Structure 1
């Protein structure tokens, strides 16, 4: 009976000392959501595989929403943050650019999202993922759009993935026929790009 009592105490102690599972939230649009592919083939699911293979105690959450703009992201961020977030990867703004939305508005929305995340969870680690827009919106708009992400990263001291589609754009094997969304193989490339920035933080 005494040995059973000691075992129960030891088991309880081990449980108390076990680290709680942490979370990684990918907060973005259809790129993150995995439009056109099975959710298990989208890069957040592939990152979960990498996390598990590395023996890290993190749960990856796919917070992507197809068609999401920076304004839409700002409207839903408070709801998303009801759950404790340890790592936050922000991938928004592409749909703003496709719609020609005023860049000052997009940048302000992204900054407010960053501020809300930091305010809610001061110890959170944030990674910013940049996007690009087609040149048909004009050279000046395209240039300013591309520079918006490095500016936000520098102003907030964040790691930056300059262009999340950088290694797959224009490749028919990696992009779906719409020229916007990655194929399963393209998502694997994105996962590798993100993992380079993410792994050192975990």
Structure 2
């Protein structure tokens, strides 16, 4: 990572931390299911799990709404990007710095009319290492920063919890350096589960729904994952789409 990039990320996080310190994480969330309106455009933000080669849960949601609720005439746009984070962190054993959402978010919002944002981050944000309060604060700031960006543009937001890291990765804890190739053995239970709690507790005026996709995926790991513990298979993506659809109001 070059010096300018490091400074840019650090300055943004520091500014956001100050804003976070002077604000509240709790707003007008009332627990009701989110309702789409006709002709809305939904921007879907996330990492490679969202991107899914353009053939994952985002596209399945589009198909589902086209089939079951065609009168709504919704349009889902996939803005997922491989390896991306909202923490601005990168593990040592990674080919270059991870993409950082806030380095491209303003440009996306300037160039695209979006009525609703769908947010799904977390898998990469802990950079597959051990838990720490600093790490959890970085993720909380990232989520809150996204919500504040949506507030500025008056874009309602649906927050998704991170998917689980499926069973099957190495349980060998002899390494002192963790990465996507070699995650910390308790990364799912000690990091992603905490990220899930942060999402579900991150009440904010522009967090209009918080949907737990971790729980159903975790319960169906054998069907929803193959050899890759990070990326759900087609069954997993279908389950994500169905879970989102089932948590909406019509």
Q: TM-score, normalised by structure 2?
A: 0.61
CA offsets, 1:120-166, max 9 Å, x none?
A: 1x2x22100112666624966565433211221x244531112x243
User: Which residue of 198, 206, 209 corresponds with 1:159?
Assistant: 209
Answering whether residue 90 of structure 2 is matched by residue 90 of structure 1, we say: no
> Residue 47 of structure 1: SS of its match in structure 2?
helix
Q: Which residue of 2 aligns with 1:8?
A: none
User: Which residue of 112, 129, 135 corresponds with 2:160?
Assistant: 129
Number of residue pairs matched by the alignment: 174
**Which stretches in structure 1 are left out of the alignment for 5+ residues?**
1-18
Give runs of ≥4 in structure 1 deviating > 6 Å.
none
- Structure of higher CA gyration radius: 1
**Which stretches in structure 2 are left out of the alignment for 5+ residues?**
1-36, 89-99, 166-184
Answering whether residue 217 of structure 2 is matched by residue 168 of structure 1, we say: yes
User: Which residue of 124, 133, 142 corresponds with 1:109?
Assistant: 142
User: Which residue of 60, 69, 76 corresponds with 1:60?
Assistant: 76
RMSD: 2.6
Answering whether residue 85 of structure 2 is matched by residue 69 of structure 1, we say: yes
- Distance in 2 (CA, whole Å) between partners of 1:20 and 1:186 is 28
Contact 1:25/1:88, CA 8 A, preserved across alignment: yes
Q: Higher relative CO (CA 8 A, sep ≥ 6), structure 1 or 2?
A: 2
More helix by share: 1
CA offsets, 1:159-201, max 9 Å, x none?
A: 1112x24323362331131212111121111110011234x27
User: Which residue of 41, 59, 72 corresponds with 1:23?
Assistant: 41
